[in-house]
Structure 1
Amino acid sequence: MTVTEVGCMGVKPSLDVTNDSTAEGQILTKLYKYVITAPGGSLRVYWGLEAENPTYLWAFFDWNSIEDHEKFARTLGREAVKDMPKILNRGFFTKHITATPSLSITLQSPVTEIILAYFPSDISSTQRDSALGRLQNFEQQGLNSILGIQSLSYGWGVENDFPVRGGSDDQNASILTSFVGLDSIDAKGKFRESLAFEKLLCLVRSMEGNIKLESFSVSFRSLTRNTETGTFEDI
């Protein structure tokens, strides 16, 4: 089963890291092309800046397993990230999530609304399953029929020690992720003003044990591995 690595990093001030015409942008694109073509590398990679706070860089990598990711990190990871200190001032975390199969489609949308919900590290499997069931019911009530919404994906973090953004340095949590793929920036604005968005936030906030919720949007760039040729393709 595919697992998705998720990383959040801090970008140095005044750097345009998602623009290939800049030196800093070339560093990032070169890195992700390497990760997608190197032996044992990622299947797909998506990266972009938070629209609301572009000092936060988010990257998602699809792997066949956590073991594949860990093996790559041990053998080729140091070479891959050697230039990252030139453009980043902090690495907030690198963790993993498992999400519904539509995650790839959702991250390829022109805009992706991301909702992170934090829960106690010791949340039970029953509570986890209940939360997923409620999101599934919400999806089946016709969310995808709303104008501008392309897809919905959701899932739990694999680890239970995600740092809580805005919390104390030692505050960790389990995390439930929700992703809404939107077809334009205009659609994002309309979605945020919609009853559906309000219901989604209320649904997640009402889940047992919820500590905190935050929402932001990212327009991702992406690459996928061509397994036959070992090269990459823009997606």
Structure 2
Amino acid sequence: MSVTEIGCMRVKPSLDVMNEDNPEGQILSKLYNYVVVAPGGPLRVSWGVEVEDPSYLWAFFDWDSLEAHENFARTLGQEAVKDLPRILTRGGFTKHITATSTLPATLQSAVTQVVLAYFASDLPPTVTDAAIACFKDWEEDEIEKVSGIEALSYGWGVEKDFPIRDCSPDQRASIFLSVFGFDDVNAQRDFRGSLAFEELLGRIQATEGFVKLEVFSVYFRSTSRHS
């Protein structure tokens, strides 16, 4: 079954890792353009830093399966990432999510709005299913009011031990991710200030087991095996 690897890493101070006119800005594009054509590599990679805090770098990798990612990590993974310590600090995480098939479209939009919700690690399936149903209800009720949206996607993390930002290292959680792709930044900002967005956050926070919420936007770049 296909799966998306999700990684969050910290950028070293004063480095502009998205500017390819600088030496440090070429490391990520070279790495990700290499892995998508390497044997057993991901089908697609999208990466970018948070607009609100550019010290956080996010990357999404689409794999044929969890096993495909594990096999690649064992064979070519270490060689592929050898230059990352030049631009990234220790910490961060690499996990997996199972999101709806529209996730790549949200990451290829002009600007992407991300809502990352942390939940208790021991949620029963009834609660995770109810959260998805609640999101679908919100989509049916509110999405027509949102202008400029090109795609939306959502899904739960595969692992149950995601680190929680700004919390102690031993605090771990499940995550529910909802992602919205917009055709321009004005539409994205309007959404952030809308009643529809407020309603979405309220529904997420009212879900059983809710722990914390992170809301941020990213200008992603993408490359794929067939680009």
Report the TM-score range of the alignment, normalised by the length of the smaller protein: over 0.9
Q: Report the secondary structure of 2:18's partner residue.
A: coil
Q: Structure 2 unaligned runs (5+)?
A: none
Identity value in percent: 59
Q: Structure 1 unaligned runs (5+)?
A: 227-232
Is 2:69 the counterpart of 1:76?
no
- Per the normalisation by structure 1, the TM-score is 0.94
| Mapping of residues 132-151 of structure 1, within 5 Å | 132-144=132-144, 146-151=146-151
Q: Please say which of residues 145-154 and 95-104 is displaced more in the overlay.
A: 145-154
Distance 1:85 1:220 in 2: 21
Query: Which 4+ residue blocks in structure 1 deviate beyond 3 angstroms?
Result: none
Is 2:52 the counterpart of 1:33?
no
**8 Å contact 1:117–1:214 — kept in the other structure?**
yes
| Structure 2 equivalent of residue 230 of structure 1 | none
Amino acid at match of 2:81: V
- Per the normalisation by structure 2, the TM-score is 0.97
**8 Å contact 2:160–2:172 — kept in the other structure?**
yes
Aligned-pair Cα RMSD in Å: 1.0
| Structure 2 equivalent of residue 87 of structure 1 | 87
**8 Å contact 1:112–1:181 — kept in the other structure?**
yes
| Structure 1 equivalent of residue 186 of structure 2 | 186
Distance 2:136 2:67 in 1: 29
Deviations, residues 75-101 of structure 1 (Å, cap 9, x unaligned): 000110000000011231000000111
**8 Å contact 2:142–2:196 — kept in the other structure?**
no
Amino acid at match of 1:23: P
Deviations, residues 96-140 of structure 1 (Å, cap 9, x unaligned): 000111111111111111111111111101100010111111112
| Mapping of residues 59-208 of structure 1, within 5 Å | 59-144=59-144, 146-208=146-208
Count residues in correspondence.
227
Distance 2:40 2:144 in 1: 35
Distance 2:74 2:102 in 1: 29
| Structure 2 equivalent of residue 225 of structure 1 | 225
Amino acid at match of 1:78: Q
**8 Å contact 1:49–1:218 — kept in the other structure?**
yes
Q: Report the secondary structure of 2:36's partner residue.
A: helix
Q: CA deviation at 1:7?
A: 0.3
Amino acid at match of 2:187: A
Distance 1:181 1:93 in 2: 23
Distance 2:14 2:160 in 1: 34
Distance 1:157 1:66 in 2: 13
**8 Å contact 1:44–1:61 — kept in the other structure?**
yes
Distance 2:196 2:36 in 1: 36
Q: Report the secondary structure of 2:210's partner residue.
A: coil
Distance 1:142 1:214 in 2: 21
Amino acid at match of 1:27: I
Q: CA deviation at 1:34?
A: 1.1
| Structure 2 equivalent of residue 13 of structure 1 | 13
